[in-house]
Amino acid sequence: MSHAEDIARGTAVASSANGTPHVGHLPPRLDELSPQNLYEKCMALARNLWWSWHPEVTNLFRDLDPVRWRQLDHNPIALLAEFTPERLEARAAELVLYSRINQAHRRMKEYLAAENTWSTVHAGVLGSKPVVYFSAEFGIHESVPIYSGGLGVLAGDHVKSASGLGIPLIAVGLFYTQGYFRQHLDVDGYQHEEYQPTKVDLLPIEPAVGTDGQPIMVRVDTRSGALHAKVWKLAVGRCSLYLLDSDVPENAPEDRPLTSRLYGGDTRTRIRQEIILGVGGVKAIRALGIVPGVYHLNEGHSAFATLEAVRGRMERDGYPYDDAIRRVARQTVFTTHTPVPAGHDRFDSGLMEEHLGPMRDALGISHDQLMGLGRVEPHNHDEPFCMTVLGLKLSRRANAVSALHGHVSRRMWSNLWPWKVEEEVPIGHITNGVHVPSWLSWQMLQLYDRIFPANWFRQMGGPDVWQRIHECDPGELWETHYALKNLLLQFVRRRLARQCRRRGECDEAVEQARSVLDPNILTIGFARRFATYKRADLVLSDLDRLHALIADPDRPIQIIYSGKAHPADEPGKGLIRKIANLRHDPRFAGRLVFIEDYDINVARHLVQGVDVWLNNPRRPLEASGTSGQKVVLNGGLNCSILDGWWAEAFDGRNGFAIGRGETHSNDEITDRRDCEALFETLTKEVIPLFYERDADGLPRAWIRMMMNSISSLAWRFSAHRMVMDYARVCYVPAAGGISCDMASR
């Protein structure tokens, strides 16, 4: 046995109250460290997603078997399933993991038991009146595939920050047994979608149990028969996430896969998913014995929840319909994310009557009254039912997700309040933010830990701690970033080689993939959903000019792309194809790459290692965007159109703006001007600043900009700041507490 192991075991023995009998040649150990106990401790860690934002725990799992860890999508339950307690014990001994496991386990227990949180001081009223947060998707970790993109990641970050702040929040979503698709490109660059069934026993979920001690099963009546769903429970730190799942024998065979895929199927599937989420969700909460203080609807998908809440108030408390509506609205917070009218869910009158008929009977309202709740003009029979309109009408507090999006939303929905001038339309804004511990790299965490005050995590939603970044040694910040960039390049090469092998390409191509990109070259990242408004190909609209930048002998650039197109979005798939196929063009080969299967894992690598994050949506279609906020934390710089969050974030010293926030009369002109502005910013600002080095080889002005970016943006666009805003401006007043802010409507 090595000296280090001796010490590790010695510590354990020294603190042991009752040593276990001698096993083989090993000295007596803590009872707690029997193979079975060790295994159970690891499993307890794996069964609360708290582990996923604690790098010391992630590293622990990884160290058990780094290759399998990667192959298993960083799923600790799947990893532990490959170990027997004895093998785990042997591995832990070999790596001296005992104290790390014990410490992680203790930290988690302390975290879960903590009583002094931000919420106990600032949002005490929620203690007895919890927030129920509805979202159609939750992006918490790549190993739990129940998200497709930004909306889900935002919801996941919201829950994690609520947990961190101690806000009593219960999340409700759907359990997608096949998740979102895995993306593969064929030799032609065309996207193919693969759906894999999720292995339930390898997820940190368990059946939710109701007040009667039985697993919960909810039932939602429609005119064409009842829909049933069971309910799963996931632990996300101090918060619980409940997921409804239609795959139960009580359902007709054709209804069992209703919740199997995210945003799959036609409008009928969609409305059926949405009544399960909204109506079924409220019923599940009731079965759990939870009495909500606040309903928070993250986007319109879950807006039917309000109707079930109204029905509940009528039935349980005996309120008449109008009264119940007012009471539920007072408790409801609605967040809209969609800046284009076509992006909102709409259902026709027939689908509504089929699915909400029994509901309107219970509410005692006519079909026309029901439809009116989802129409801008209640009596316009040609107008379909819009979920966003329902959300807006049945909530006293509604918000957009950035300042600019607030303006757009007030204009878009001003017809709902025809007697108000646009500025007074009651839709405010709370700008999105990201969960710092989830997106911050281990290396930057080490650096912040050295220069920030102890316990800075508790204050990460405020500006003060982040100002200390200016005291950091510029060389150290640069070195850290450079190390992260190298890790990204390793990841990219590994992925590209794998993609080549998968497509059956020759050994030479695989070899070439292993040597693409150069860590000394300015590296630009572009990764997001391939919705056409995001214009992934904007920089490709002038290939000669792009080639000149990429092939510049002194100051070249390289670009890493990633992203999925919705399976039905052929133009989006066309964009992917166009980009992916540039690898066959010798002018771009090795300097412009596409990583398949964008997910939280790919996003994490990219945002932690790029020099510049490129974002060029057609303004004002990006409601907020959050990926650029993840980049900030890790020292990358944003280069973006002044849209979404960047319109309020950019101050001239903390990154780069493309254009001046103009909007033009049509898309063609907009695209041409924006393309011009993009090349202008790249050639006049980004590239010169990056390659301007001092005698030590440091890009001083660039590093100053990194510091400005971190100090001015990291806290403002953190999910902690965001959730504190929701608590103060929405949750506390909605739950009947007194708000100290004037910002609510």
Of 153 and 171, the one with the shorter C-beta distance to ligand PLP is: 153
Q: Does 437 bind ligand PLP (CB under 6 A)?
A: no
Q: Does 74 bind ligand PLP (CB under 6 A)?
A: no
Of 301 and 630, the one with the shorter C-beta distance to ligand PLP is: 630
Instruction: Break the chain down into helix, strand, coil percent, rounded to 5.
Output: 50, 15, 35
The tally of CA atoms less than 13 A away on the side-chain side of residue 313 is 20
What single-letter amino acid sits at 140? Answer: I
Q: What mask of x and - would describe binding to ligand PLP in positions 23 to 42, judged by CB under 6 A? A: --------------------
Of 83 and 598, the one with the shorter C-beta distance to ligand PLP is: 598
Residue among 625, 635, 733, 737 that touches ligand PLP (CB under 6 A): 625
Binding span for ligand PLP by CB under 6 A among 105-113, 500-508, 592-600, 632-640: 592-600
Give min distance, CB of 603 to ligand PLP, in A.
Answer: 3
Q: Does 104 bind ligand PLP (CB under 6 A)?
A: no
Binding span for ligand PLP by CB under 6 A among 19-27, 293-301, 500-508, 626-634: 626-634
The per-residue DSSP string of 449-490 comes to HHHSPTTGGGGTTSSTGGGGGGGS-HHHHHHHHHHHHHHHHH
What single-letter amino acid sits at 289? Answer: G
Q: Does 599 bind ligand PLP (CB under 6 A)?
A: yes
Residue among 240, 431, 626, 634 that touches ligand PLP (CB under 6 A): 626
Q: Does 149 bind ligand PLP (CB under 6 A)?
A: yes
Could you tell me if 637 and 485 are in contact, meaning their C-beta atoms sit under 8 angstroms apart? no
Q: What does the alpha-carbon distance between residue 445 and residue 442 come to, in Å, rounded to a whole number? A: 5
User: Which residues 516-545 are close enough to bind ligand PLP by CB under 6 A?
Assistant: 528
Give min distance, CB of 55 to ligand PLP, in A.
Answer: 17
Residue among 12, 80, 153, 217 that touches ligand PLP (CB under 6 A): 153
Q: Does 145 bind ligand PLP (CB under 6 A)?
A: no
Of 130 and 149, the one with the shorter C-beta distance to ligand PLP is: 149
Q: Does 600 bind ligand PLP (CB under 6 A)?
A: yes
Exposed, middle or buried by CB within 10 Å (0-12, 13-18, 19+), for 260? buried
637 Cβ contact list (under 8 Å, min separation 6): 611, 612, 613, 631, 655, 656, 686, 702, 705, 706, 709
Q: Does 406 bind ligand PLP (CB under 6 A)?
A: no
Exposed, middle or buried by CB within 10 Å (0-12, 13-18, 19+), for 562? buried
Q: Does 638 bind ligand PLP (CB under 6 A)?
A: no
The per-residue DSSP string of 363-389 comes to HT--HHHHHHTT-SSTT-TTS-EEHHH
Tokens standing for residue 343: 């992006």
Of 552 and 569, the one with the shorter C-beta distance to ligand PLP is: 569
Of 370 and 600, the one with the shorter C-beta distance to ligand PLP is: 600
By C-alpha distance, which of 653, 345, 641, 315 is closest to 470?
A: 653
Of 142 and 676, the one with the shorter C-beta distance to ligand PLP is: 142
Q: What does the alpha-carbon distance between residue 39 and residue 343 come to, in Å, rounded to a whole number? A: 47
Which segments within 100-157 are labelled E, that is strand?
A: 131-134
Give min distance, CB of 625 to ligand PLP, in A.
Answer: 4
Of 627 and 708, the one with the shorter C-beta distance to ligand PLP is: 627
Residues of 147-156 as b/e, b for ≥16 C-beta within 10 angstroms?
bbbbbbbbbb
Could you tell me if 306 and 390 are in contact, meaning their C-beta atoms sit under 8 angstroms apart? yes
User: Which residues 331-370 are close enough to bind ligand PLP by CB under 6 A?
Assistant: none
Give min distance, CB of 633 to ligand PLP, in A.
Answer: 12
Give min distance, CB of 648 to ligand PLP, in A.
Answer: 15
634 Cβ contact list (under 8 Å, min separation 6): 439, 440, 441, 444, 481, 484, 607, 608, 609
Binding span for ligand PLP by CB under 6 A among 215-223, 256-264, 267-275, 594-602: 594-602
Give min distance, CB of 239 to ligand PLP, in A.
Answer: 20
Q: How many CB atoms lie within 10 A of CB 301?
A: 25
Binding site for ligand PLP (CB under 6 A): 149-150, 153, 528, 598-600, 603, 625-627, 630
